[in-house]
Structure 1
Amino acid sequence: MNHNDIVRQSFKKQAEKFVAYHMSKVEYTDYLIQKIAATGEEHALEVAAGTCICGRALAPYVKDITCLDMTEEMLAQGIRLAEESHIENIYFQSGNAEKLPYEPETFDLVITRLSFHHFDNPEKPFEEMKRVLKKGGKMVVWDMEAAEEPLREIDDKIENMRDPSHTRILSREEFEEMFKKDFALQCEETTLVPVNLKSWMELTDTSEDVQEEITNLMKAELEGGRKTGFSPYNKDSQIMFDHRWLLLIGVKK
């Protein structure tokens, strides 16, 4: 099974639960819309769109938006929710972020959210997104930011235990390096997003034994043991941690 098959398999399981998960909260999409500051004239593209959370939120603020993903079950949820909300300027495309089916400089705005840590070769989809973006257009990448260097390996290991489609979380510096040559960065902000450990593992249908192993690693850190990169804490008798979401918005030179 290649990595794309692993991604499809993982998100096929998540499709129905994904919509209700914390990552869909209006407060996050409102923040994103505010930061993008669309004019209403943009032809927009959401890459690795999943259930099209960003695309559906952005639709009222752009001319039109296309949502592309390679997991049919995720796109089906996006289509259903767009229809329920009577969104008419949204289109859906099955496709791979590593080979976008569009001509160069097609879009005014290209966005992807929480996708890069699922890519085998993150430079490849980034280059594709850049290729289809017009000069003067905005590239928006909102993804997790890596833990500090000594803890990155164990952090990624735990993420992969929970979801085998996870590859590697990039650092702020790695994201900056991709943007550096052809973009002027307008925004670079980190937001802490609280996550309930149990709900996080249930979203991906993580097996009971792996859930127990991950929970024990978190409990050990809470008791002063080995650090995981998650910095877990207790809240209302539940184990929580904060994901670091890094938002970068660049204008193509």
Structure 2
Amino acid sequence: MPDHTNVYKNQTKLYEQMISKQPSVLKTIEEITPINQLDVIDMGAGSGRLTSVLAPYVKSILALDASAEMLILNEEKLKHNKNLNYQIEVADHRKIPAENESADLVVSGWSIGYLGSSEVENNVHNIEKVMEEIMRVLRAKGMVIIFETMGTGFETPNPPEFLKQYYSLLENKYGFSHKWIRLDYQFDSLKQAEELSRFFFGDELAEKVVRENLITLPECAGIWWLKKER
């Protein structure tokens, strides 16, 4: 498996090209909660997959990521629209740089799992700290929505073994509701499908792409959401 820390630091444009082949999740978010005129925090905002689609509709958005390089791409998408109210900041999920009860919505796309993986030391404690921080910054009746992978190259959910404990914690310890959707990659050619899948997912999946001619690469995504009651 490629080193994603290196990807997010040194291969940001290639990563951005890859995720641009997936559909927007704006409608999925709006099915869970209205977003107009909310104060939003995007945790693990990266190159702006969620930030860029939410920013035109919300009151304000704070885009956070551990990678300064990814946030440069994020800001490139935002700075040309003078009507957007946004901030960009490098941050760790376990210490959100925001005031208590300052957000109506916290979103996180494919990011918290890096701390929650069972292959990471203190993963259960990491998730506990992340949840404490999310609840600290959310206002009463605020919502948190988390997106994570449920399997790449599969037509039905097949989550990675190292994320199952994390997902179980979300559902059974913290009380998140959940569902899954398809967010298939629609590549322009088989060559592009092979190159981009090999770059981010590794050789095994890339060989499957070639073998099965997967210009459309299936992707299952999990969505977990929870409202802060008070």
- Scaled to the shorter chain, the TM-score interval is 0.7 to 0.9
Contact 1:24–1:53 under 8 Å retained in 2: no
Gaps of 5+ in 1: 1-5, 157-166, 220-231
- Which residue, 220, 223, 227 being the options, matches 1:247? 223
Q: Are the aligned partners of 2:198 and 2:206 in contact in 1 as well (CA < 8 Å)?
A: no
Kept in 2, the 8 Å contact 1:107–1:134? The answer is yes
Distance 1:16 1:169, change over 3 A: farther
Question: Which residue does the alignment assign to 2:183?
Answer: 193
Aligned residue among 8, 11, 14 for 2:11 = 14
Q: 1:179 aligns with which of 174, 178, 191?
A: 174
Indicate if the aligned counterparts of 1:144 and 1:170 stay in contact, CA closer than 8 A: no
Residue of structure 2 aligned with 1:138, choices 140, 143, 153: 143
Work out the CA distance in 2 between the residues paired with 1:14 and 1:72.
12
Classify 1:55/1:239 alpha carbon distance in 2 versus 1 (closer, same or farther; 3 Å).
closer
What is the aligned-residue RMSD (CA, Å)?
3.2
Residue of structure 1 in register with 2:155 after alignment: none
Q: Distance in 2 between matches of 1:133 and 1:85?
A: 27
Matched residue SS, 1:51: coil
Q: In structure 2, which of residues 22, 25, 28 is the aligned counterpart of residue 28 of structure 1? A: 25
- SS of the residue corresponding to residue 190 of structure 1 reads strand
Structure 2 letter corresponding to 1:168: L
Contact 2:62 2:86 in 1 (8 A): yes
Alignment partner, residue 80 of structure 1: 76
Q: 1:233 to 1:132 in 2, by over 3 A?
A: farther
CA distance in 1 between counterparts of 2:144 and 2:61 reads 14
Match of 2:190 in 1: none
Give the TM-score, by structure 1 length.
Answer: 0.68
- Separation of aligned partners in 2, 1:35 and 1:24: 24
From 129, 132, 135, the counterpart of 2:134: 129
CA apart distance, 1:24: 6.2
* Cα distance change of structure 1 residues 250 and 199 upon mapping to structure 2, 3 Å threshold: farther
CA gap 1:168/1:133 in 2 versus in 1, 3 angstroms: same
Pairs within 5 Å for 1:211-222: 211=203, 213-215=204-206, 218=208
Q: Quick check: 1:91 aligned with 2:91? A: no
Separation of aligned partners in 2, 1:178 and 1:87: 40
SS at match of 2:163: coil
| Displacement of 1:34 | 4.3
Pick closer, same or farther for the CA change 1:59–1:214 going to 2, 3 Å: closer
Q: Tell me how far 1:25 sits from its aligned partner.
A: 4.2
Pick the aligned partner of 1:110 from 106, 109, 112: 106
Assess, with a 3 A threshold, how the Cα gap between structure 1 residues 170 and 113 changes in structure 2: closer, same or farther: farther
Give the fraction of aligned pairs with identical amino acids, expressed as a percent: 18
2:44–2:65 contact (8 Å) kept in structure 1: yes
C-alpha change, 1:171 and 1:125, in structure 2 (3 Å) is closer
Q: Given residue 175 of structure 1, which amino acid in structure 2 is its aligned partner?
A: L
Work out the number of aligned pairs and report it. 208
Rg bigger for which structure? 1
| 2:56 partner SS | helix
AA paired with 2:169? E
Change (3 A) 1:61 1:239: closer
